[in-house]
Amino acid sequence: MTDRVALLTGFEPYGGRGVNPALEVVRRLDGSEIGSVPVAGRSLPVSYRALRSRIDEILEHMNPALVISLGLWPGTPMIRLERIAINVADFEIPDNDGAVVTDESVEANGGNALKSTLPLRRIEAALLEAGIPAHVSNTAGTFLCNATMFEFLHALEDRGRATPCGFIHLPYLPSQVADLLASTRAERRLEREQRADLASMDLEVMIRAVRTAIAVGLDPRA
Amino acid sequence: MTDRVALLTGFEPYGGRGVNPALEVVRRLDGSEIGSVPVAGRSLPVSYRALRSRIDEILEHMNPALVISLGLWPGTPMIRLERIAINVADFEIPDNDGAVVTDESVEANGGNALKSTLPLRRIEAALLEAGIPAHVSNTAGTFLCNATMFEFLHALEDRGRATPCGFIHLPYLPSQVADLLASTRAERRLEREQRADLASMDLEVMIRAVRTAIAVGLDPRA
Amino acid sequence: MTDRVALLTGFEPYGGRGVNPALEVVRRLDGSEIGSVPVAGRSLPVSYRALRSRIDEILEHMNPALVISLGLWPGTPMIRLERIAINVADFEIPDNDGAVVTDESVEANGGNALKSTLPLRRIEAALLEAGIPAHVSNTAGTFLCNATMFEFLHALEDRGRATPCGFIHLPYLPSQVADLLASTRAERRLEREQRADLASMDLEVMIRAVRTAIAVGLDPRA
Amino acid sequence: MTDRVALLTGFEPYGGRGVNPALEVVRRLDGSEIGSVPVAGRSLPVSYRALRSRIDEILEHMNPALVISLGLWPGTPMIRLERIAINVADFEIPDNDGAVVTDESVEANGGNALKSTLPLRRIEAALLEAGIPAHVSNTAGTFLCNATMFEFLHALEDRGRATPCGFIHLPYLPSQVADLLASTRAERRLEREQRADLASMDLEVMIRAVRTAIAVGLDPRA
């Protein structure tokens, strides 16, 4: 098929951070080919209000062979292959509009949860084989990442498309942790010896991870 | 000066692991030049019995302009610039000879502790500036790494040499964590959701970190 | 009403551990009254095969006003009030029959997930007010605890009962962590400095937490 | 001997916290007897400037049979029996005077480090035997706690007293973590799913731990 395309989305920076590794990976892979399939990179706003229409707009103009959305999971030491999106929005911090949602449903009539339709175990095996720390995760949280995964799965189901679709959480970039350490040392506000949540992963490793996930996801039988 | 050399040591694998990032970095930097100073890489045995004589042997044949020793700190998400070595050997696991030492002194008449003579704050600043997570650490543990730092500082003091000398702990390589995840999934013996200690760092990032540390350490006034 | 009863279940020990704080709390609260409602404590086998029939058997003989199941989440520092049970069984360690289940459904036609019907935010507020660390958690894992929560919610739904029902994960007991430290020191197999997952909570605090959860759960409008 | 006394010190609250478990334990044990030895509880200011004179003043009026100082180590899940105090003051946060000290010596001519003179392994064994998580720690940090341990050991050495002396770090109280969770939820500023540093320990368990440490410390041969 000549016009197969792999859709890769990533969030803009949020939470006061100047960069989001998800968007960095999207920028680097946008326009590249994996197998012979071009990657179409799209940014997503960290706006709960705008999220649904942005997803609809993307799927209106595109019928991708695969959908992988990327987000940041601050502190994780590993690639998290999300197994399930729950129909819950419950924010610990505001989104970029300043919106804070508490214990709401993402979709009023959307059921309790939707499962990733990516071949997660094959992706996990391929990543570990490639020397990249990864695991199948049982929670995508209840912020924008989870909502995005839920909305994409829901929208594809609505349209009757059997597109493999899922969400991958990425660690911090090393430079983000370095900036955090530099600024907190300057401001004397972090008791760093106590922190176990400052893991990171090199951008090149993340890019290899996402390329691998796309390749396996596009392969009907690896 | 024509024959200045920077000594870089790294431990062999231990604790049942097949690889040690410290030794990988040493292999990659051995023979390279930083500024115009060649790096002399040396491996160290994970043998408490053999450690002292190996260090004496090295310093017998070489009068380096700088000594940096590298070791693995399993689980750390950051480069640890060790501030102090204590005169204590107390092993949680056996060394490669099977030796387990409990609450002994490293050197019978060695005082309680010796401080790194590297410019730690300048190295920390250079690493953070370069986007590499790093911090000045207050414990090098009580295993071979601490003993090595203590012995090198002690041996240089003994010989009346004012050589800048210290120890840097490195995180796991990503491939080590990937192997750990793959094997524990196979053996069903790790409750992985509970683990907060699986951080890693790409080899290229570690190499940049150690090159930076050597460059700053060799520079009398950065 | 004379025959209202609060059902409290707890798992037997598993994973090679000699004790399970969940069962200890059940034993202590079994037969006590909260408000004027008696607590009926029941143990559950850590057997995936036997779990469903044990739950059916309990609900055959009892129509509780409330169902709270308890389990251990090794390493958590807080009471975890589980928000959702997913229709997935995927074990990292074997159950007490030696069974290992991978990526199966708990119930063949059970949907993707079921939500706790306990008043989680009121319970969370009451626990924090009482000085007990607690939070609403977004994953109950994919082992027996999650399956139990799913099966109880499913069985009550099947029977058309609107009973408030949910699952609470408990930390280790301090004595469990002490035993772990003593045995690993003896066996020299744990690099303890690296472990961030050895949190625990006193049995009396857990008992207060569960009593509070039951009281709030029984109160239609706190 | 009729006038043996065990000196127990604890810090006042700091770092914006309203309570310090160290001081709570001191208040509860002050005036009690362990064996037949009375406990003299003293509070210490979180003031680097005032610390030395407060310690001198205490030792001027008292010749204790034992000195144990207590402090908080935010996030630790265990009792930390400190092995060594280093001659370094380097604050990550300001003390209660607003003072921030960077990479200074605690005592100008004080050597590099001083070792605890408590029977740490006997205390550790007694705590684990009593079911209380504890370990011998290799760093007391570089804030007021470390300085206090260093100053007490130094002052006793100066006075030629062979008093067993050391420092014990305590976890948060459960109520402190509960308050932290409640306030951060209210203020929406903590991404809690990421935090691995919210362990706590019940006050009664801490009191048992400190009583045990004092009893073992007073016993010349347990």
Residue among C113, C141, C142 whose CB faces A113 most closely: C113
Query: Does the pLDDT at position A75 exceed 90?
Result: no
Interface contact A185, partner D, CB < 8 A? yes
Sign of the alpha-carbon torsion through D3, D7, D8, D13: positive
Q: State which residue of chain B sits closest to D102, comparing Cα positions.
A: B121
Of the candidates A24, A124, A145, A151, the residue annotated as catalytic is A145
Tokens of A148: 């995005």
**CA-to-CA dists, residue D49 to B158, D17, D45, D100, angstroms:** 36, 20, 9, 11
- Helices D120-129 and D203-218, axial angle in degrees (round to 10): 140
Q: pTM of the entire structure?
A: 0.93
B128:A197 CB<8 A: no
Contact B114/D at CB under 8 A: yes
Give the nearest partner residue to C92 out of B74, B100, B192, using CB atoms: B192
Query: Which residue among B135, B197, B204 places its CB closest to the CB of A181?
Result: B135
Q: C-alpha angle with apex C164: C161 to C169, nearest 5 degrees?
A: 130
On the CB side of C187, CA atoms within 13 Å amount to 9
CB contact under 8 A, C202 and D201: yes
Closest A-chain CA to B135? A181
Q: For residue B137, give the 3-state DSSP assignment.
A: strand
CB contact under 8 A, C202 and D204: yes
Is residue A115 within 8 angstroms of chain C, CB to CB?
A: yes
Neighbours of chain A (3+ CB pairs under 8 A): B, C, D
A196 shares contact with chain C (CB less than 8 Å) = yes
Which residue matches tokens 């009121």? Answer: C122
Instruction: Name chain C contacts of A83, Cβ cutoff 8 Å.
Output: 86, 88
A154 contacts on C by Cβ (under 8 Å): none
CB nearest to D93's CB, from A91, A93, A188? A188
Least CB-CB distance to C131: which of D128, D130, D178? D178
Asked if A74 is an interface residue toward chain B (Cβ–Cβ < 8 A), one would say no
> Cβ–Cβ of D141/A192 closer than 8 Å?
no
Q: Which residue of C has its CA nearest to A83?
A: C88
Q: How many CB atoms lie within 10 A of CB B112?
A: 18
pLDDT number for residue C220 = 80
Nearest partner of D211 among D41, D4, D20, judged by Cα: D41
Question: Who's near A51: CB < 8 A, 6+ residues apart?
Answer: A44, A45, A144, A147, A148, A151
Total H helices, total E strands in chain D: 6, 9
> CA D45, CA D148: separation in Å to the nearest integer?
10
The active-site residue, picked from A24, A82, A124, A151, is A82
The verdict on B121 touching D (C-beta cutoff 8 Å) is yes
pLDDT digit string, tens, across residues C43-67: 999 999 999 999 999 999 999 999 9
Q: Which of C90, C180, C191, C198 to substitute to test the interface with B, most B CBs within 10 Å?
A: C191
A207–chain B nearest CA distance, Å:
13
| Inter-chain CB proximity C200 and D77 less than 8 Å | yes
Stretch (H or E) spanning A205 = helix A203-218
Higher-confidence residue of C197 and D205: namely D205
Task: For residue C187, name the pLDDT band (cuts at 50, 70, 90).
Answer: low
Residues of B with a known catalytic role = 82, 145, 169
Subunit contact B113:D139, Cβ cutoff 8 A: no
Q: Which residues contact B105 (CB under 8 A, 6 or more apart)?
A: B87, B88, B89
Tell which wins on pLDDT, C187 or B129: B129
CB nearest D113 (choices: B86, B90, B142): B86
Which range among B199-213, C150-164, C206-220 has the greatest average pLDDT?
C150-164
C130 and D CB contact within 8 Å: yes
CB contact under 8 A, B128 and A182: yes
CA A39 to chain centre: 15
User: Average pLDDT over chain B, rounded to whole?
Assistant: 91
Nearest Cα residue in chain A from C141: A138
Question: What local confidence, expressed as pLDDT, does residue D196 receive?
Answer: 54
Catalytic residue among D24, D145, D154, D165: D145
Q: Compute the nearest-CA separation of C106 from chain D (Å).
A: 26
Does residue A129 carry a pLDDT above 70? Answer: yes
D61 annotated active-site: no
- Compute the C-alpha angle C187/C191/C194, nearest 5°: 150
Residues of chain B with C-beta less than 8 angstroms from the C-beta of C189 = 93
Q: Do C197 and B195 touch (CB under 8 A)?
A: yes
Q: Decide if B115 touches C, using CB distance below 8 A.
A: no
Percent of chain B with pLDDT over 90: 79
**pLDDT at residue B196 above 70?**
no
Whether residues B94 and C188 touch (CB distance < 8 A) is answered with: yes
Residue to substitute from D84, D150, D153, D198, interface B, most B β-carbons within 10 A: D84
- pLDDT digits over B80-114, tens only? 999 999 999 999 899 999 999 999 999 999 999 99
Out of B130, B133, B179, the one facing A181 most closely (by C-beta) is B133
Across chain A, which distance is largest between two alpha carbons, in Å? Answer: 58
DSSP summary character for residue B110:
S
Q: What does the alpha-carbon distance between residue C72 and residue B89 come to, in Å, rounded to a whole number?
A: 36
Mean pLDDT of A84-93: 95
**Binary contact (B202, A198; C-beta < 8 A):** no
Q: Which of C24, C124, C145, C165 is catalytic?
A: C145
Residue A77 has pLDDT above 70, yes or no: yes
**What integer best gives the mean pLDDT of chain C?**
91
Cβ separation of B142 and D138 shorter than 8 Å?
yes
What's the CA gap between D51 and D68, in Å, rounded?
16
Secondary structure of residue A167 in the 3-state scheme: strand
CB of A103 within 8 Å of a chain D CB? The answer is no
Which residue, among D62, D180, D81, D86, has the nearest Cα to D128 in the 3D structure?
D81
Asked if C63 reaches chain D (Cβ–Cβ under 8 Å), the answer is no
User: Sign of the CA dihedral A92, A98, A102, A107?
Assistant: negative
Question: From D141, which residue of chain B is nearest by alpha-carbon distance?
Answer: B138
Nearest to C177 among D133, D173, D198 (CB): D133
Min mean pLDDT across B57-71, B175-189, C96-110 is at: B175-189
Which tokens go with B145? 């790494």
Does ipTM come in above 0.85? Answer: yes
CA of B30: how far to CAs of B10, B39, B55, in Å? 11, 5, 17
How much is the pLDDT for C61? 94
B182 to chain A, closest Cα gap in Å: 6
Tens digit of pLDDT per residue, chain D (222 long)?
A: 447 999 999 999 998 888 999 999 999 999 999 989 999 999 999 999 999 999 999 999 999 999 999 999 988 889 999 999 999 999 988 999 999 999 999 999 999 999 999 999 999 999 999 999 999 999 999 999 999 999 999 999 999 999 999 999 999 999 999 998 888 766 655 444 445 578 888 889 999 999 999 999 999 775
Does residue A1 surpass a pLDDT of 70? no
Q: In which band, very low, low, confident or very high, does the pLDDT at B67 lie, cut at 50, 70 and 90?
A: very high
- The answer to whether C83 contacts chain A (CB < 8 Å) is yes
* Interchain CB contact of C182 with B (< 8 Å): no
Cβ(A87)–Cβ(A185) under 8 Å? no
Pairing of strands A6-11, A66-72: parallel
pLDDT for C29 beyond 90: yes
pLDDT band for position C1 (50/70/90)? Answer: very low
| pLDDT surpassing 70 at residue C186 | no
Instruction: Clarify whether C169 is annotated catalytic.
Output: yes
> pLDDT value at position D74?
87
- The percent of residues in chain C predicted with pLDDT above 70, rounded, is 92
